[in-house]
Structure 1
């Protein structure tokens, strides 16, 4: 959906504004209403979270999407995230991973290499800078996951702080530099991206991911994310098949079919 947006009239600057601006509007009551106000230390943590999974993260993913493809981006960023999380936990927090987890990380990397090789054979080698941008985004995602697990914030509080800080830091520059292209985009395109970016990504996806980290822990939650390319491929079979089957037949094929069903004389 993000690639769809940046290849039409809107640009990544508009995507980021919609994602965090609408998210801030929806989630701000969770941290400012009476009885739910946060201490200053929590706001400081939220600022760090916004750097890791706010506008910089979105811009890196968008750069990767622009230089590679939606399929490659969906394969690289989510798949590398649990690997980075495991390495960071082992390297900085001195937590032992065990042979089984290292085997799992090696399997993830092997699968990614095989998938990338198959894609390169069919479509050519991917852009190295695009892969690097997606890898950096995955590393930031992993760091955020580890820090959130130890922050003490609730899933909705963390999501709200990410959106609020991202909007406060990004929106003034976005408006001052005149980066908006809403005037040339259709109302349908804007509404679609507003729903997906502002409601589903900044609201539903971010909160539910935080909840998964709270319930499962960093390692288990990030490992589940590695299933994303496989799940997307499986879902593509019935979904895209249904879409293709629902298309009307071409005129020539339709007339040929009618001719073949006429009784022979």
Structure 2
């Protein structure tokens, strides 16, 4: 049996720092996106801004030293775009329209480490140990409690919104596991996700007349363009990819699942969405599970 070793402390701290930066951006994204979709912009506008701006910003990464990436990279990038690109954004945006920023931020980021852990154990043979499995159990229990509490306080949650967010979490988890074994760099992955998503979506968006950008103010468009196209499409994807490379999928996704605390806090002053005390306790229970999950994976010696 192969000897096991943990991630070196220096790499672990660096990975946590990258993950923390990604958490801060993801947290604001749920609030900023819901702010847009319940006011002047549509899901299609958010998607167009995210991938249109991101594709232009990251285009140089697709042509290092003036030459395009090799063919295998473009194919891998298309797979990534189907996992953490266009379908993911549309599912999350749909979930945000049917739920709240706090609910969306509690479901998608916290379900993602659970999917990543289960799929990693089944298909990659990852060994998580009792502590991490206990963390996954706490996440499931916390999510179930959150839905039950939310039903009692706010009424029955929209099942379509819940399913959309769970679907997005599953896609995100598969991307995380696949990226770990990819030869693409974090910035190349981000650039290819934006490129393929823009190629697939923007022609339909323009030809079908889906744009509602004219209904938004210049300030709103500026904020959405910067957050969706720069922070989410470029900075967040790159920082998250770095965290996955340094910590491993289970630990990186575990840290990302701290998003609900930050998103719920931001949603209070921005959207006026104040969680009930019981909901706040359920979110904290989920976070407790996340903390059990968020430790670097043990790798075979010499890997």
- State the TM bucket, normalised to the shorter chain: 0.7 to 0.9
Q: What secondary structure is seen at the aligned counterpart in 1 of 2:213?
A: coil
Does structure 1 residue 116 correspond to structure 2 residue 176?
Answer: no
The within-5 A match list for 1:68-217 is 68-217=99-248
Q: 1:14 aligns with which of 30, 45, 58?
A: 45
Cross-structure match for 2:258 = 227
Query: Residue deviations 1:53-96, cap 9 Å, x none?
Result: 11111110111111111111010000000000011011222323
- Cα deviation, 1:20-60, whole Å, max 9, x if unaligned, reads 01001111101214166421101100000001111111110
Contact kept, 8 Å, 2:50 with 2:228, in 1: the verdict is yes
Aligned residue for 1:125, secondary structure, equals: coil
Distance 1:21 1:215 in 2: 29
CA distance in 2, matches of 1:91, 1:214: 20
Distance 2:63 2:211 in 1: 29
Alpha-carbon displacement from aligned partner over 1:120-155 (angstroms, at most 9, x marks no partner): 221112111111110010000000000011011111
RMSD, matched Cα: 1.9
**Counterparts of 2:133 and 2:109, CA distance in 1:** 17
8 Å contact from structure 2 (residues 85, 197) kept in 1: yes
Question: Higher Cα Rg: structure 1 or 2?
Answer: 1
TM-score scaled by length of structure 1 = 0.86
Paired residue total: 240
Unaligned segments of structure 2, at least 5 residues = 1-31, 273-303
Asked whether 1:47 is paired with 2:47, we answer: no
Contact 1:108 1:226 in 2 (8 A): no
The answer (yes or no) to whether the contact 1:30–1:36 under 8 Å persists in 2 is no
Q: TM-score, normalised by structure 2?
A: 0.75
What is the CA distance between 1:196 and its match in structure 2? Answer: 0.9
Greater relative contact order (Cα 8 A, min sep 6): structure 1 or 2? Answer: 2
